[in-house]
Amino acid sequence: IRFDGRVAAITGAGRGLGRAYALLLAARGAPLVVNNRLSGDAGTDSAEAVAREIRARGGNAVAERSDLRAPEAAAAIVECVLASYGRLDVLIHNAGVIESQPVADLGEADFQRVFEINTLSALRLTQAALPAMRRQRYGRIVFTTSTAGLYGNPGLAAYAMAKGALLGLMRAVAAEEG
């Protein structure tokens, strides 16, 4: 399977699954926008590290560092993709965080942070990407979720709730845009 000429944007692509998605799509010919926020006291730029790795392997990648907690991040990511490549064919929402606390101890602020990054940012990204995908009459949106969203896990109520909501969003988008 090749993705030559199909432009992809991947959130949370600085490490883990997102990095693996980026490397695989790049190896199969997709130009990419690699999103990951700067992290740590030193402002570690994992998005640029992955983009550099892709370019070193002969691929085409641009780093994008928006923090998905910001409402304007979705538009910034889509604008980066369109400015860099002129189209957006594949959007993979992979960014996510886990808050490990029992339900009885879960604070609303902790839940809001998990929901903001894992779910609300996916909605915002989808809304930002759909106009370009509709104009092209082509697009694929992938949400990385978890069995925690289906079955729950002890100590992962916020994460399970956010991933369960993401499954609902996925089904709604598929029904509306399929």
Q: What value does the mean pLDDT take over residues 102-127?
A: 94
Beta strands 61-64 and 90-93 are: unpaired
Active site residue 159: yes
pLDDT at position 44 is 74
Which DSSP letter does residue 104 get?
G
Torsion of CA 147, 153, 156, 161, to 10 degrees: 50
- Summarised one tens digit per residue, pLDDT across range 2-17 is 999 999 999 999 999 9
Which of 85, 138, 151, 159 is catalytic? The answer is 159
Q: Could you tell me the pTM of the whole model?
A: 0.93
- Summarised one tens digit per residue, pLDDT across range 132-176 is 999 999 999 999 999 899 998 999 999 999 999 999 999 999 999
Phi, psi values for residue 4, rounded to 5°: -55, 130
First-last CA distance in the chain: 22
Alpha-carbon distance of 61 to 47, in angstroms, equals 10
**Structure tokens that stand for 165 in this block:** 């909501």
Question: Percent of the chain beyond pLDDT 90?
Answer: 88
Residue that is written with structure tokens 């109520």 in the block: 157
